[in-house]
Structure 1
Amino acid sequence: MKHEEKYCPRCKTAFECKVGSIQLCQCSAVALDNKEREYIRELYENCLCAECMKVLKAEYHNQNLQDKMKAILGVFYRVPKK
């Protein structure tokens, strides 16, 4: 079966999409829960490369941590410097 070559909408890297053989697809290497999947789906409509999926998964958890810290610290919370 021929697989589709796609370009990651986030980083523009080419990758082979194996939607017909999903267990062999590069994206299956990144485990996502429903909330992580929803977060990524809100940002991108199409397939991403595995590296970008890993980065966005970490970004999701970092954002959640920042939100929790803000809720705990209230007015004393400061956005971390990048």
Structure 2
Amino acid sequence: MKKKCPRCSKTFNCRSDNLFECGCMHVILSADDYRYISKHFDDCLCPVCLTQIKTERQCSPKLPAAPPLK
């Protein structure tokens, strides 16, 4: 299913119906990353944004990731 990423507004294919084929399954996130994403976003993020959030939070683990892109 096509979705619009709430962080970057780009369209991406979400395969929440089959997680083994979903692009987000290739981005390994920590429990803290999941909590941060759940707190700040109501829907799926594209794999690019998931990777960016993971990288930003690894570089500055005490700081939240940058606000959503608009």
TM-score by length of 1: 0.68
What RMSD over aligned residues (CA atoms) do the two structures have, in Å?
1.5
Distance of 1:39 and 1:33 partners within structure 2:
10
Give 5+ residue unaligned stretches, structure 2.
Answer: 64-70
Counting aligned pairs with the same residue, the percent is: 30
Which 4+ residue blocks in structure 1 deviate beyond 4 angstroms?
Answer: none
Give 5+ residue unaligned stretches, structure 1.
Answer: 67-82
TM-score by length of 2: 0.78
Aligned-residue offset at 1:30: 0.4
Q: 2:35 aligns with which of 35, 38, 54?
A: 38
CA contact (8 A) 1:8 1:48 kept: yes
How many residue pairs get aligned? The number is 63
Higher Cα radius of gyration? 1
